[in-house]
Structure 1
Amino acid sequence: MKKLFTLILALLLNTYAIFAETIKTDVLVIGNGASAVTAAIQSSRSKLKTVLLVKGDWLQSMQGKEMVTIAANNKLPSGFWGEFRKQVNHLYKGMPGHDTTNFAPLKFESFAAAGILKQIADTTKLLTIKLNAAFATVEKDGTGWKVTYSHNGRVDNIKAKTLIDATQGAEVVGAAGATLPPPVTYADNLYRTSIATADDLGGLALSSDKTSYPETPAYYIPMSALVVKDADNLFITDKALLADASLPVQMAIGQGAGTMAAYCAFFKTTSKKLHVRIIQGELLDFKGYLLPFDDINPTDSYFKAIQQIAATGLLKGKQNIADGRAQFLFMPDSAVTTAEIKPVLSELYSRAFIWFANNKPAGQFTVANLLSFISEITLTEPKNLKSIMLRDWKNKYKFSTEFDTERAVTRREFAILANQYINPFSRAVDLNGRVIN
């Protein structure tokens, strides 16, 4: 009898080994909310093979017929949230009770939102969705992860290079024996590592520190908030915030996490070696915001350049109160001051100290000052640079002003030209926003 039992057990184990499925993927996302879906779509769009593991049915919490109204972030159509908002407006255009004009609060039925997200996900290449698939175990597999999950009455396996915990309770982090990142302390240059941003968090400020940048209600999520530090290549979404996030915030965080996970998988590296600028550049390519400027439209041909310059700290935004509402503004037509750019330029370029000592620019930084600085950094002959600028000022850059070297350079002009010629955004920073020399 004992021998017979042993034989049957061996046959059962062999049968499981034969029929159990093992999937290999670049990115694995576990969760059933908007951040999970957005993270999975983003990593797939970044050309990485992605699997989304859903415990139950598709977006179960969004299958009702109740009406949802979202007033926050209506002036910041950042990244995937902007794409989703556009599709909702297209669906409800012309229907009574739905104002689909720009900046109006977004109103939609919950199940309609779930349907839009499913439609986008189904047309996304490299994305595999497994519904009614509950994960069972999580363990390290080299620098990646091995996850077992139950599906259709059996237990299967997934091996992934990177893993995103998009569950509401950080269940994956717990199962992996890891710990959540501590709450973000907003200080110093952390804004330089922003991976998600918006203009409101449902009325709840992320920081009580009024000296933080940007000042609330505008805010950003730094990369470090999504990184599980004691477990390589494990990222979080919903639990990056202490409060429940609104739908736009969930999507912004999901898109950020998907971009970071895709970076690690593509470059075959770990979350300890994240390259902030490459990841932010990828996010900008998908129309994401790094800083929540109300006055810079994402359709602007130089939207990316302005965001990149702002992320270096050369030109910071300022809060303005209009009609009782706080706005975070870039003020593209305002003059650049020497005081605001000198500390950052000196931090980024060793030759800047010599240039400032020799040229001693006045309070307002002029077009001539900018051309002279570009010549110093790029070793370009000044007359040649001036000739090129005279030719390209209107034709290439489409500046509305006349080319006049003696006047103060505007913030828009400075952002575009500095980004083009000296590219300060290319200077690497660590996860604390400190420049890496």
Structure 2
Amino acid sequence: MIGLAQSKKRPQVFVYGYGVDAYAAALQSSLSNLNTVWVVNGDKMIPELTSEIISIPSDAGLDAGIWANLLAKTLRSDKPSDSLSAIARRRINPRIVQNVIDSVLKTTQNLTIIEQGQVRSIKKSGKDWQIELADKSRMKVKAVVDASKDAYLYQLAGGKIDSIATRATIPDSYFESAVSSELFRTGVAVGEQDGRAFTLPLSGLIPGDDRNLFLTQRTPVVQHLLTGDEQDIPLLMHVGQAVGAAAAYVAFFKTTSDKVDVRDVQGELLKYGGRLIPFSDVALEKPYFSAIQRTGATGMLSGRISEDGRMYFDADEAVTVAEIKPVLNQLFSRSQIWFVDHADVDTLTLADVFSYIKFVGQRGNELEGQVQKNWKRRFHFEDEYDEQRIATRKYVAVLLDAYCGPFSVKVGLNGTIQR
């Protein structure tokens, strides 16, 4: 037993299984400040990465969160980046990975790890789950994550493996034109299928019932995407982290998975370096990475799928009214009035953006001065400040994120905007 085994704090989230998804779920739950117990039912915690030297070319340029942090640490860096991930993936040394994992877990708070453990029984007790281990120790938790290969806990709790369901069934058509779907706004785990970028919506990863028993790789949409080899590792890491954040949410707020707040879960993932939208041209290390991720998740500035299947944000392209007006009108009640009053505007300038922010965000005339002051220091824009400059997608995303907060407007699990 590792971690806070001596802690008397009552556990809130229980994770069962071994592998990268179990690791990511347990780590995210503990990072979210929930007392977490991880029972590892195998000889190794993460055998996929600690058994032999491997190379992982899949999902290139989409690393983030716990997975990107691990890759960076194998190169002795505490600052993950797309370039470091690309280098680390070429040759993953099992001994180095094991050392990194040991170091991370040693310094992780709120996490108790039981190695080579087994669950004897699991049953619902009121709003909690009551779990008994093989050594007859017992605990009650608010949420359970079953990261086992065979959905062992799910079956032990009375479920049939062919009846596993999530809040929404994600059809094949979603992956063909995901960017046009409202579900895209709820993305929490990115990847590629047949070379085409996607983000998995939260509703495809949380339980269809209200029992708070989450699964990682055994959910239907994830099963559909897995290939059964080491190329699954990036996606499973992202799925595990997303499920860990969702489980932590329901445990913290003492609620059920059908009431999960999409933006809160997404915000928690971004806090720990997650990637919601698979923009491959906005590197993880860019100072405006999170702002563009938040903006992308509103659907206001959606990505472009190129012939190579990758999704591009096109940060330096101009922004037209036609592109942003439909979503902004849904997000902000005052937006429609501004667009009516500025019907002659087609391609936006920074002056237009400031006018919009002041009207919709109810900001004063001090706005321009604030932006000019923060232009390079806070926003890290490289060009010189000029109000008559054409407003690029990067400028619009960052400025609206900072002064209007479109990401703070709630969305439902089905991706519809709720204001």
Fold in common (TM above 0.5): yes
Per-residue deviation at 1:401?
2.6
* Structure 2 counterpart of 1:436: 418
2:269 corresponds to 1:283: yes
* Structure 1 counterpart of 2:105: 121
Question: In structure 2, the residue corresponding to 1:56 is in which secondary structure?
Answer: coil
Per-residue deviation at 1:313?
0.7
Of 400, 407, 410, 2:389 maps to 407
Question: In structure 2, the residue corresponding to 1:138 is in which secondary structure?
Answer: strand
Segments of structure 1 that go 5 or more residues without pairing to the other structure are: 1-21, 92-99, 206-215
Question: In structure 1, the residue corresponding to 2:11 is in which secondary structure?
Answer: strand
* Structure 2 counterpart of 1:392: 374
* Structure 1 counterpart of 2:292: 306
8 Å contact from structure 1 (residues 23, 159) kept in 2: no
Q: Deviations over 1:99-144 (max 9, x none)?
A: x966244322446544533442233111111122211222112222
8 Å contact from structure 1 (residues 237, 254) kept in 2: yes
User: C-alpha distance in 1, partners of 2:31/2:369?
Assistant: 41
* Structure 1 counterpart of 2:147: 166
Structure with the greater alpha carbon radius of gyration: 1
* Structure 1 counterpart of 2:200: 221
User: C-alpha distance in 1, partners of 2:20/2:84?
Assistant: 24
User: C-alpha distance in 1, partners of 2:125/2:342?
Assistant: 57
Within 5 Å, give how 1:29-428 maps onto structure 2: 29-59=15-45, 61-62=47-48, 65-90=51-76, 103-104=86-87, 105-110=89-94, 112-151=96-135, 155-178=136-159, 179-181=163-165, 183-185=169-171, 186=174, 188-198=181-191, 200=192, 204-205=193-194, 217-240=196-219, 241=222, 242-244=224-226, 246-321=232-307, 325-381=308-364, 383-428=365-410
What is the total number of aligned residue pairs between the two structures?
Answer: 387
* Structure 1 counterpart of 2:5: none
Residue range with higher mean Cα deviation, 54-63 or 164-173: 54-63
8 Å contact from structure 1 (residues 170, 236) kept in 2: yes
8 Å contact from structure 2 (residues 71, 84) kept in 1: no
Per-residue deviation at 1:292?
1.5
Counterpart amino acid of residue 238 in structure 1: Q
* Structure 2 counterpart of 1:11: none
User: C-alpha distance in 2, partners of 1:23/1:148?
Assistant: 17
Counterpart amino acid of residue 407 in structure 1: R
User: C-alpha distance in 2, partners of 1:65/1:32?
Assistant: 13
Per-residue deviation at 1:228?
1.2
Per-residue deviation at 1:413?
0.8
- Name the CA shift for 1:244/1:393 in 2 (closer, same or farther; >3 Å): closer
Question: In structure 1, the residue corresponding to 2:170 is in which secondary structure?
Answer: coil
* Structure 1 counterpart of 2:80: none
8 Å contact from structure 2 (residues 295, 406) kept in 1: yes
8 Å contact from structure 2 (residues 206, 246) kept in 1: no
Residue range with higher mean Cα deviation, 224-233 or 56-65: 56-65
Provide TM-score, normalisation by structure 2.
0.85
Q: Deviations over 1:24-82 (max 9, x none)?
A: 41110011111001111111111111000122322374487533110123323301111
User: C-alpha distance in 1, partners of 2:85/2:94?
Assistant: 21
User: C-alpha distance in 2, partners of 1:114/1:167?
Assistant: 20
User: C-alpha distance in 1, partners of 2:279/2:16?
Assistant: 32
Q: Deviations over 1:150-203 (max 9, x none)?
A: 03xxx22121111101111222222223442254132621111111113x3xxx
User: C-alpha distance in 1, partners of 2:49/2:310?
Assistant: 34
Percent identity between the two aligned chains: 34
Residue range with higher mean Cα deviation, 308-317 or 131-140: 131-140
- Name the CA shift for 1:110/1:394 in 2 (closer, same or farther; >3 Å): closer
User: C-alpha distance in 2, partners of 1:349/1:71?
Assistant: 42
Provide TM-score, normalisation by structure 1.
0.82
In angstroms, what is the RMSD of aligned CA positions?
2.4
Q: Deviations over 1:305-330 (max 9, x none)?
A: 11101100111111234xxx543211
8 Å contact from structure 1 (residues 59, 114) kept in 2: no
Counterpart amino acid of residue 148 in structure 2: T
